[in-house]
Amino acid sequence: MKRGDSLADPPTAPYASGSRPPDPVGSEGGEPDTLIPGVVSSGPSGIVVDDPTTISGVYALGEVIGRGGMGEVLLAHDRRIGRDVALKRLRTGSPSEDDVARFLREARIQARLDHPAIVPVYELGRDPTGRPYFTMKRLAGVTLAELLVSSAATRQRLLRAFADLCRAVDFAHSRGVVHRDLKPANIVLGEFGDVYVLDWGVARVVGDAAEDVVVTADIDTLEGSAPAGQVLGTPGYMAPEQFHDPDVGRPADVYSLGTILFELLAGEPLHPRGPAATASTFAAGTVVSAAGRRPDRGIPPELDALCVSMLQAKPTPRPTARRCADAIEEYLDGDRDLTKRRAMAIELVWTARTALEHDRRAEAMRAASRALALDPNTDGAAEIVTGLILEPPRDVPREVRELLRAADGDDIIRHARAAIPGYLLIAAMMLIVIWNGVLDWPLVLGIIGTALAMAAAAHQLTRQPHWSFPAWVIYASGNAFIGLLLSRFAGPFTFVPALLTFVTASVITYPVFLERRWLLMGIMLGGLLAPFGLEELGIFRDTWALRDGGFVNYVHGMNVSTSSAVFVVILAGVATLMMAGIQSTRVGRANRLAQHRLVTQAWHLRQLLPATPTPAAVTAPVR
């Protein structure tokens, strides 16, 4: 940042005006430029040629097309050769000696950097009031900052411009010049693919330039720091070391280039605008990855790795500007180093395995996926991705637990809906018993009431599948109690054991009893064996006996003196068999469908990932 500039409001790039029409002013279809107040006549390109306000009678001055902290840039017309130029001069009419020295130093640095991407300086002089000025090529184009905001350019175009930018910065570095204020607003993309680096006002000259560098004795005398309390550069694009010491070297420019590349790749700045940029520059302990911040943009891994290397906190590990340009051009030309990609992929596989050992599944998935993107044939990458997708984690995340709980609820609802008809069928059987003849009305009514209560409980499960553990114990006990009543009704050796077996097999599918199967089986065994113990203790009347080598079953609930009693007993057995068959079919179909879906998903995944050949697959004949 130059003297007087605000940290929150960096100066506008002075040499290009993106809002200006591409055709020269005054040409066919063009409109005259806005002129200085008091000007009434214009020459080529809208520049006044008869106005007395000129410099040495040579440059007719036009409108201001840019302002910075110390200087301003005007459109001017060189009367000698009839061309438009950009003229930069100090804004104040009585500048200090320090301001004049810095201004002249900027002009001399820019003039001696003879490169296509650096605006050429035509002339250096002073106006009649003694203010220094210099003229340079007038540019037509837009700044990189405008293009990044408008998204008008493709990534390919921006990358090629960025490679040219790196070449220009490398050229300056070879001449011993460090820019120190690289940012999108100081980069202009011309209408014909040309790229320009602007604003060398805070550039620094270092003492280790290439042998063929021109003499710089007259431009390194002001080498030094910013005025007290100010920094040189723009926060958000400055290297961390530049905040503490303005006498930085070439790596500081590389960091600034890295912030530009990050913004180009991610579509957003690396650091926030304004005062928060300084804190953000020092906040991150590790370098932010553009691909990590914006995974939706499909950032190539080579470019992401290059950007990360350019944004290293320490200056030493950063690549040179030339290496950055080479890397961008290699990517654009499709010349990707296969050996390097394979090495990067292998390293990422080891990173994924280390993350798996510490149960960092998300990190392992990202590393293995990037390894596959770099080299689909990397050993172990496909297996890691497949395993992570198909195998559940040791510590299930809360979000997954909620999804599993919802899936369990769906299973409970499905089983409960299938159980309701069974309970209603038991109650309906009692109606047939009433038609045949009832011997123990309290017992029959108890069976009907319990069956209806269990049907109501199953219906409640379809609306609220997640019960407390005591409620589930009561639900299981109700099923056992039905078995106890039915054993008193028709004897414990008729259809009751088969019915309790079916009920146990059905209820145990609920998630709470899958984890406590012995509790459920204990409750159901109680319903089966309790009548025998109660009869042995004399509390219940006997329902069976062994006589004359035969087995006698006593029925206390219904009249069995008629032939219809046999029909009722057979019907009860048929109903039990049918209910068991229907319920087991539903459970089996659901399990089969889930298994088929899992196998199909695994097959689809294997089609997306590179196959790992097995000995059988290798030696098998082709048919």
Angle, vertex CA 568, rays to CA 564 and CA 573, nearest 5: 145
Where in the chain are the domains? 44-138, 143-336, 339-390, 398-600
Q: CATH says 44-138 is which class?
A: alpha beta
Please state the separation of Cα 241 from the chain's center in Å.
30
| DSSP three-state, residue 201 | coil
**Cα separation, 578 vs 235, whole angstroms:** 78
Cα–Cα dist 474/526, whole Å: 13
Longest Cα separation, the chain: 143
Q: Is 181 a catalytic residue?
A: yes
**Could you tell me if 3 and 69 are in contact, meaning their C-beta atoms sit under 8 angstroms apart?**
yes
| Two tokens, residue 205 | 């000259």
DSSP, collapsed to helix, strand or coil, labels residue 410 as helix
Alpha helices per DSSP H over 358-392: 361-374, 381-390
CA dihedral 419→424→430→435, nearest 10 degrees, is: -140
Rounded CA-CA distance 157/498 in Å is 78
The amino acid that residue 378 corresponds to is: T
Which amino acid, one-letter code, is at 346? I
What pLDDT shows up at residue 46?
43
Q: CB–CB of 542/536 below 8 Å?
A: no
Is-contact 374 344, C-beta < 8 A? yes
- What is the CATH T-level fold of the domain 143-336, as seen in this structure? Transferase(Phosphotransferase); domain 1 (1.10.510)
pLDDT at position 214 = 45
pLDDT at position 605: 66
Selection from 467, 450, 476, 470 nearest residue 412 by Cα = 467
Catalytic residue among 5, 181, 199, 375: 181
**Are the C-beta atoms of 283 and 271 separated by less than 8 Å?**
no
pLDDT score for 368: 87
Q: What is the pLDDT of residue 24?
A: 32
- Mind giving me the DSSP string for 235-278? TTTS-HHHHH-S---HHHHHHHHHHHHHHHHHSS-SS-STTHHH
pLDDT at res. 254: 96
Residues contacting 598, CB < 8 A, separation 6+: 390
Nearest to 576 by CA among 490, 458, 512: 490
Structure confidence at residue 614 (pLDDT)? 43
Sign of CA dihedral 6, 10, 16, 18: negative
Length of the chain counted residue by residue: 623
Closest to 200 (Cα-Cα) out of 122, 94, 113: 113
Contact between residue 197 and residue 182 where contact means Cβ atoms under 8 Å apart: yes
Task: Yes or no: say if 544 and 487 are a contact pair by the CB < 8 Å rule.
Answer: no
| Rounded (5°) CA angle 391-392-397 | 155
Characterize the bridge pairing of strands 83-90 and 544-547.
Answer: unpaired
pLDDT of residue 195: 93
Amino acid at 81: I
Q: 565 — phi, psi (to 5°)? A: -65, -40
Letter for the amino acid at 212?
A: D
SS3 445: helix
Residue 129 in tokens: 């009031």
Tokens of 4: 């007087």
- 10-residue mean pLDDT profile of the chain (623 residues): values are 37 40 32 29 40 72 83 90 91 82 88 89 87 90 90 87 95 92 92 88 75 48 45 84 87 95 93 81 71 86 92 92 94 71 85 86 86 81 81 74 84 85 83 77 88 92 90 90 84 79 83 86 88 83 78 72 68 74 74 78 66 42 36
**The pairing of beta strand 132-137 with beta strand 121-126:** antiparallel
Using only C-alpha atoms, what is the Rg of the chain? 43
**Dihedral over alpha carbons 478, 479, 480, 482 (to 10 degrees):** 90
